[in-house]
Amino acid sequence: MRPPDNRRRRFEELYQANHDPVLGYVVRRTANGHDAADILAETFMTVWRRLDDVPAGEKARPWLFGVARRVLANHRRGERRHTALTARLASELSAIQRQPRKESADVDALAKAFAELSDGYREVLSLADWEGMSIAEIAVVLGCSANAVRIRLHRARRRLARALSVDPPRRAARAQVPEGDSA
Amino acid sequence: MTKISISRLNPVTDNEIAVLVSTEARDELAEHITAATPEPAPRSWWCRRLIVGIPLMGVATAAAVVAFSSGWVGPQRAEAAALSFQREGGYLVVRVQDPNADPERYREEFQQRGMDIHLKLAPTSPDKAGKVLFMEDRDDPAGRLEVVEGSCGERACSVAVKVPVSYRSYASIVFGRAVEQGEMYDTGADDEPGEGIGLPGIDKYTVAEAVAILRARNVPIEYRYQYRGSDRPYPNGIPADKVDPDWYIHEGLRGSENQAILFVGPEPEG
């Protein structure tokens, strides 16, 4: 039985709107084009299978990122599912050349500090700064509360700042007792 | 306020991504995917369903399940069962008997029936109590879980999970429940620091400014201390008379008694 047209239309809308963001997410987290192609294809295969579960509106994209994240994790665990769908894609993505950039010393230091963070901290930071996601969106990707994301992000940035020793100068604490408020 | 960003480390820009794949390759992938009639995902596949505060089944259904919850096969132990299990057609209807039970007890009771289901009740705001906050399940030949939302207080809870009798895959479900005295909400849909206490962007206020606003609203205030990643020397909260009015606010959360809990420190959030 062929899927009804509206199902296909819904998928195509999701695909058009999210292909590049999901591809970006995947490319930034994979070592080579073949892996990126597999993960991208597997992610959208899942979207097709799970079309009824994809939330409407703005929540669709973080939901898709959540799927891509899971596919990526499975991939890293060795559960690779190569598909025949991706030959052309894999060949095009294999052309990605990561030119070693000439980085300034402060970028090197930032890269080193970032690399030394735990996976969880790197994940929230990269979702926020590379994927430009809001806290609410990251919460959907990671499947946790917005507060948990906010706290993790806050701690991640703080750790980064401490590693770079660029904490802003401490304000002089006042000796006077402020207006009282019972704790 | 200094905010360290890793944007500069981004390995590939959005503009580079946009031209990475040809239109042909892009269309070909979509065509291949949609050419296949959707089939059930392989069993090992994880499916994450995030359902935040959306009623899944009608109140009438919830009531019907509640009416039948007479404890199908209670666990054989001295303490009261944390869950009740009742057979209904091809499903086991699993109801929460004790919303305050240790989640480990729920897990054990599921385990006694050969099920790997992790259930948790998280303290939340009244409008989310009894709603599903999070759900994650795997595909299973037996079918999928269904949840029955209801009301959920400190002592009684009418939420339920309908599990296909032979479901053996992993699942994790979090329902919201009413907070106990002194508890903080575990979940929130806030987007900005302070939104939960009606002061979005609170990290831009000084303590004195935020306190003035909250006082005008008669909101009680508690403080937590944060300095360079540590809460020392005030791990249990800093007394108000030790808080400098010029200090920075990092976050403001709502406590279970509607008090504002302000995370403050002598430095801005890093």
Among the partner-chain residues B2, B21, B34, the one whose CB lies closest to the CB of A23 is: B21
B172–chain A Cβ distance below 8 A for any pair: no
What is the structure's pLDDT at B110?
92
Nearest Cα to Cα of residue A183 among B225, B266, B230: B225
If you count them, how many residues does chain B have? 270
| H-helix segments, A28-59 | 33-49
CATH number of A1-97: 1.10.1740
B90–chain A Cβ distance below 8 A for any pair: no
What is the structure's pLDDT at A31?
79
Tell me the two tokens of residue A27.
């490319």
Mean pLDDT by 10 residues, chain A (183 residues): 73 94 93 85 89 88 92 73 65 66 72 89 94 91 84 87 65 37 36
Q: Which of residues 91-110 of A touch B (CB under 8 A)?
A: 92-93, 96, 98, 107, 110
Which is more confident, B64 or B161?
B161
| Domain boundaries defined on chain A | 1-97, 99-166
Least confident residue range of A19-28, B179-188, B231-240 = B179-188
What is the structure's pLDDT at A15?
95
Contact between B224 and B263 under an 8 Å Cβ cutoff? The reply is: yes
H or E element, residue B124: strand B116-124
Task: Report the alpha-carbon distance of residue A112 to residue A8 in Å, rounded.
Answer: 45
Angstrom CA distances, B47 to B76, B130, B133, B233, stand at: 33, 22, 16, 44
**Based on C-alpha coordinates, what's the Rg of chain A?**
21
Residue B108 CB coordination number (10 Å): 14
Which chain B residue shows the shortest CA-CA distance from A18? B18
Among the partner-chain residues A48, A55, A164, the one whose CB lies closest to the CB of B34 is: A48
| Domain boundaries defined on chain B | 46-178, 195-265
> Chain A residues with CB inside 8 Å of B32's CB?
85
A119–chain B Cβ distance below 8 A for any pair: no
Tell me the CATH number of domain A99-166, given options 2.40.37.10, 3.30.365.10, 1.20.120.80, 1.10.10.10. Answer: 1.10.10.10
Task: Report the alpha-carbon distance of residue B267 to residue B94 in Å, rounded.
Answer: 49
pLDDT tens for B98-155 read 888 888 889 999 998 889 898 888 777 666 778 777 777 777 778 888 888 888 877 7
Least confident residue range of A56-65, A135-144, B44-53, B167-176 = B44-53
A162–chain B Cβ distance below 8 A for any pair: yes
